[in-house]
Chain A
Amino acid sequence: HLPSLRVQVLIRTIRTARTQAEEREMIQKECAAIRSSFREEDNTYRCRNVAKLLYMHMLGYPAHFGQLECLKLIASQKFTDKRIGYLGAMLLLDERQDVHLLMTNCIKNDLNHSTQYVQGLSLCTLGCMGSSEMCRDLAGEVEKLLKTSNSYLRKKAALCAVHVIRKVPELMEMFLPATKNLLSEKNHGVLHTSVVLLTEMCERSPDMLSHFRKLVPQLVRILKNLIMSGYSPEHDVSGISDPFLQVRILRLLRILGKGDDDSSEAMNDILAQVATNTETSKNVGNAILYETVLTIMDIKSESGLRVLAINILGRFLLNNDKNIRYVALTSLLKTVQTDHNAVQRHRSTIVDCLKDLDVSIKRRAMELSFALVNGNNIRGMMKELLYFLDSCDPDFKADCASGIFLAAEKYAPSKRWHIDTVMRVLTTAGSYVRDDSVPNLIQLITNSVEMHAYTVQRLYKALLDDISQQPLVQVASWCIGEYGDLLVSGQCEEEEPIQVSEDEVLDVLEGLLVSNLSTPVTRAYSLTAIMKLSTRFSSVNRIKKVVSIYGSSIDVELQQRAVEYNALFKKYDHMRPALLERMPIMEKTATNGPTDIAQTNGETDSTILDTKHLPSITHPARRCNYHICFCLAGIPPMTAYNKNGLKIEFTFERSNPSPNIAVITIHATNSTEADMTEFVFQAAVPKTFQLQLLSPSSNVVPALNQGSVTQVIRVLNPQKQQLRMRIKLTYTHKGSPVQDLAEVNNFPPQSWQ
């Protein structure tokens, strides 16, 4: 009776288990029996037991105690034993364990066995899992077999050589002589594996590549024969002769033709032939066409051939088979930079793919669409992309919105169109828009001076409809705060101006403050907006009331703002109009790379936030500007330290092109009656961060909150870890030195995420 019968009985038994526990019990029992059998060195049943072990291993149970048994099986003279032994070795052993090296001698013997099926087993095992040491030891044997006339062994030796080269690249040279007449073989198995071997060698070594270029004519001939020859039953797949070989030859040609005029020319005709004559009704034909297209695009082909290739991809896009559409889009994405005009011709088909049901196809179509947008097609493309944004998966919305903003910024035909497009994105995908879009959009709106009235009107109307989408609400609040006067005076030219009163506007903004839908950041925006309106509206009393109410808000950020705005009303009312006047046109912030951490030049900051140039004292109201301006960054300020009359607040600016850098400004104020002199602020951060402290505005913190000391800290946080800081404060107060250490752990998540 054959060993596998008993194995099958075990399999049947295990499958009757109704629970995991029952199965485990059966397995444990059987494993115990197998273990004792192994201990008894039973030769007869070793094979059967290892086979059973392999089954149990597949179910997920440990089988390492069978490793040595596999080696014993490999050394046996029974073919059944060797078959299972080698299979067991491939499944249970891996090169990390020294045990595998014990195989080496057996494999060496079997490579020279008189029975080719045994040689085949050892070649297969070596080529599948041979470690570098084994490969070094046995490379010579493999090389010998590469030269045999036995095609059954020769084809295996070729792939085994590929594995050896992958594990020990230095050994590649020794296989060179054996490759001499590999391509003269008639046997397709040998041809296929030879082409794979040649490909591996050419990919690894430029010298090999030059050496093998002379094979191009021979490869072309073989390919031609495959196409032209009649029906060959042995290699036919749906009317195509050995598609596997055709594809590998095309891939090798690609490597040989790349960057080489002569080789590219030599393969030009055959590529054109394959491209035009291959049957496209089945996947197999399309697989060949696909490889052909990749080759045409990579070598130095004539422009006619390139256009042919792109057109094939264009036809692929119309194929019913979604797999074909998928590879077409992937390939087009690769070539859109180099063959932009040719790809443009297929734009409408690509855009149609936005409506495909497959998620991967939609994503590629979206990426490709963005790559194809230009000044000429912006209006049409944007229509399609906005429609796509409306209906696409939530996973796509953020990327799509960002892509639309970018495209609009580059190619907007008019400011009005730009604002409308931005509005459309905010209203349809407002909650998916990335946080950094908010400051960018605010900048865009500020700089589109002639559109202010139109923009604020549209944003106001959008708020009336929906206050759930935070980025939209934030931009709208900001706008209303800036341009609320234009709103109530009905100055819109672009469309019918709406009639709205100051109270209605304030109702809306106050509604945002109380709504559960508003995040703390949004509330901060709306409170500041309300404050700004105090210099644009006449209902100042109402605004004063709101501001004073929030002076006792449980939200600390809101409270802080309200208290300061209150102070603005009470003590610094004469400065209020100047502080809250319209924002000037903003300079685009330059990119801050991680290397900038070494620079002390603060010019890259927007001028308003350039704290280094601020006067050091007598403008406590200046602090309000920081608070107004941090709204632009969207990160609320925090109190880092507050003890013995010394209060230190941190305000944040995010370096948006490089979100790994947080720029923090410290504001130190002193509520006691005496100045704090010789004030020094120091900070330390954990190892994964880097910190740079710029010079302070001064080292005297004036008494009674009459001014502040400011200082800029830059923190590089490449691992996006939670920001933590230890600070040390030293100063002299009423003649005595004071020193204190503190941990700052309450950084808002937006400052480091």
Chain B
Amino acid sequence: MQFMLLFSRQGKLRLQKWYVPLSDKEKKKITRELVQTVLARKPKMCSFLEWRDLKIVYKRYASLYFCCAIEDQDNELITLEIIHRYVELLDKYFGSVCELDIIFNFEKAYFILDEFLLGGEAQETSKKNVLKAIEQADLLQEVRALATA
């Protein structure tokens, strides 16, 4: 996966995770174009589209679009499952997640994503293990100072 974007139906960015090095300007340009393209799609269209030399996999959950850019050899159908798994994780963590949760707790959304994917690939395929790790890390935030190495 090269990047993942979450945005609302009005095109507002809620999360951006980039796994390839690009300048801020390039990221903004790509985001703008892609958001426009995906929002223009009709409901009857499939979840995949070709964009530049990438494959775009997107799915809408309530008011949020989850949009991933994958490479030619990547499996589109399993990417849909990756997106779904991430939504499930958010749902379990926030308890019936909605867009507002992700707006007000955006850093948590990133932490969860970073326990699920690393460098664009899944690092953990067990839902339970991802949530457990997040839970433990959250607890660690309560600790005053960490023991040094």
Of the 9-residue stretches B60-68, B89-97, B126-134, which lies at the interface with chain A?
Answer: B126-134
A235 touches B137 (CB 8 A): no
A77 touches B145 (CB 8 A): yes
**Central interface residue in B22, B28, B80, B104, by most chain A CB within 10 Å:** B104
A247 touches B75 (CB 8 A): yes
B146 touches A129 (CB 8 A): no
Query: Does chain B have a CB within 8 A of A479?
Result: no
Residues of B within 8 A of A124 (CB): 114, 118
A360 touches B22 (CB 8 A): no
Residues of B within 8 A of A189 (CB): 123-126, 129
A287 touches B78 (CB 8 A): yes
B122 touches A115 (CB 8 A): no
B118 touches A156 (CB 8 A): yes
Query: Does chain B have a CB within 8 A of A358?
Result: yes
Residues of A within 8 A of B10 (CB): none
Query: Does chain B have a CB within 8 A of A8?
Result: yes
CA distance A163 to B77 in the complex (A): 24
B122 touches A192 (CB 8 A): yes
Interface residues of A in 222-245 (CB under 8 A from B): 234-235, 237, 242-245
B46 touches A360 (CB 8 A): yes
Contact A55 B106, CB 8 Å, known A94-B23, A358-B44: yes
A87 touches B46 (CB 8 A): no
Residues of A within 8 A of B50 (CB): 360
Interface residues of A in 66-95 (CB under 8 A from B): 77-80, 83-84, 87, 91, 94-95
* Chain B minimum-CB-distance residue to A79: B140
B46 touches A114 (CB 8 A): no
Query: Does chain A have a CB within 8 A of B30?
Result: no
Query: Does chain B have a CB within 8 A of A162?
Result: yes
B107 touches A4 (CB 8 A): yes
Contact partner of B146 (CB less than 8 A), chosen from A79, A94, A162, is A79
Q: How far is the CB of A579 from chain B (nearest CB, A)?
A: 52
B121 touches A162 (CB 8 A): yes
Q: How far is the CB of B99 from chain A (nearest CB, A)?
A: 12
**How many residues belonging to B are interface residues under a CB distance threshold of 8 Å?**
58
B21 touches A244 (CB 8 A): no
Contact A291 B75, CB 8 Å, known A243-B81, A358-B46: yes
Interface size class of A (residues with CB under 8 A): 35 or more
Query: Does chain A have a CB within 8 A of B103?
Result: yes
Q: How far is the CB of A249 from chain B (nearest CB, A)?
A: 12
B145 touches A94 (CB 8 A): no
A327 touches B77 (CB 8 A): yes
CA distance A473 to B124 in the complex (A): 64
CA distance A126 to B9 in the complex (A): 33
**Central interface residue in A114, A118, A287, A361, by most chain B CB within 10 Å:** A287
Residues of B within 8 A of A235 (CB): 125-126
Query: Does chain B have a CB within 8 A of A612?
Result: no
B81 touches A152 (CB 8 A): no
CA distance A160 to B133 in the complex (A): 18
A327 touches B125 (CB 8 A): no
Query: Does chain B have a CB within 8 A of A196?
Result: yes
**Central interface residue in A2, A83, A283, A322, by most chain B CB within 10 Å:** A83
CA distance A123 to B118 in the complex (A): 9
Query: Does chain B have a CB within 8 A of A286?
Result: yes
CA distance A141 to B90 in the complex (A): 32
CA distance A242 to B128 in the complex (A): 13
Residues of B within 8 A of A244 (CB): 78, 81-82, 122, 125
Q: How far is the CB of B74 from chain A (nearest CB, A)?
A: 9
Query: Does chain A have a CB within 8 A of B86?
Result: no
Q: How far is the CB of A142 from chain B (nearest CB, A)?
A: 12
A188 touches B125 (CB 8 A): yes
Query: Does chain B have a CB within 8 A of A176?
Result: no
CA distance A387 to B123 in the complex (A): 49
Q: Is the interface of A mostly helix, strand, loop or mixed?
A: helix
Query: Does chain B have a CB within 8 A of A726?
Result: no
B81 touches A283 (CB 8 A): yes
Query: Does chain B have a CB within 8 A of A514?
Result: no
* Chain A minimum-CB-distance residue to B76: A327
Query: Does chain A have a CB within 8 A of B37?
Result: no
B106 touches A323 (CB 8 A): no
* Chain A minimum-CB-distance residue to B13: A58
* Chain A minimum-CB-distance residue to B57: A323
A79 touches B141 (CB 8 A): yes
**Central interface residue in B44, B81, B111, B119, by most chain A CB within 10 Å:** B119
Query: Does chain A have a CB within 8 A of B16?
Result: yes
* Chain B minimum-CB-distance residue to A242: B125
CA distance A11 to B44 in the complex (A): 35
B49 touches A360 (CB 8 A): yes
A8 touches B104 (CB 8 A): yes
Contact A323 B140, CB 8 Å, known A163-B119, A290-B77: no
Contact A87 B110, CB 8 Å, known A58-B13, A112-B149: yes
B148 touches A77 (CB 8 A): yes
A156 touches B123 (CB 8 A): yes
A323 touches B118 (CB 8 A): no
CA distance A156 to B119 in the complex (A): 9
Contact partner of A117 (CB less than 8 A), chosen from B49, B133, B148, is B133
Query: Does chain B have a CB within 8 A of A359?
Result: yes
Contact partner of B77 (CB less than 8 A), chosen from A55, A94, A286, is A286
A58 touches B141 (CB 8 A): no
* Chain A minimum-CB-distance residue to B88: A237
A287 touches B21 (CB 8 A): no
B111 touches A192 (CB 8 A): no
A159 touches B118 (CB 8 A): yes
Residues of B within 8 A of A247 (CB): 75, 78
Interface code A505-521, partner B: CB below 8 Å = 1, 0 otherwise? 00000000000000000
Contact A54 B107, CB 8 Å, known A243-B81, A323-B48: yes
Query: Does chain B have a CB within 8 A of A127?
Result: yes
Q: How far is the CB of A315 from chain B (nearest CB, A)?
A: 15
Contact A159 B21, CB 8 Å, known A87-B107, A322-B46, A323-B48: no
B80 touches A51 (CB 8 A): no
* Chain A minimum-CB-distance residue to B118: A159
Q: How far is the CB of A621 from chain B (nearest CB, A)?
A: 54
B125 touches A245 (CB 8 A): yes
- Please provide the 8 A-B residue pairs with the shortest distance between their CB atoms, ordered closest to farther: A287-B77, A189-B124, A127-B119, A322-B46, A159-B118, A287-B78, A79-B140, A80-B141
Q: List 14 A-B contacts (CB under 8 A).
A: A51-B107, A78-B144, A84-B107, A94-B21, A96-B21, A114-B149, A117-B137, A152-B133, A188-B126, A193-B121, A234-B126, A245-B125, A251-B73, A283-B81
- Given pairs A58-B16, A327-B48, 20 additional interface contacts (CB within 8 A): A79-B143, A87-B107, A96-B23, A112-B149, A113-B149, A120-B137, A128-B19, A188-B124, A189-B124, A234-B129, A243-B81, A251-B73, A286-B77, A287-B75, A287-B80, A322-B45, A323-B47, A326-B76, A359-B45, A360-B48
Residues of A within 8 A of B (CB): 2, 4, 7-8, 11-12, 15, 51, 54-55, 58-60, 77-80, 83-84, 87, 91, 94-96, 109-110, 112-115, 117-118, 120, 123-124, 127-129, 131, 152, 155-156, 159-160, 162-163, 188-189, 192-193, 196, 234-235, 237, 242-245, 247, 251, 283-284, 286-287, 290-291, 294, 322-327, 357-361
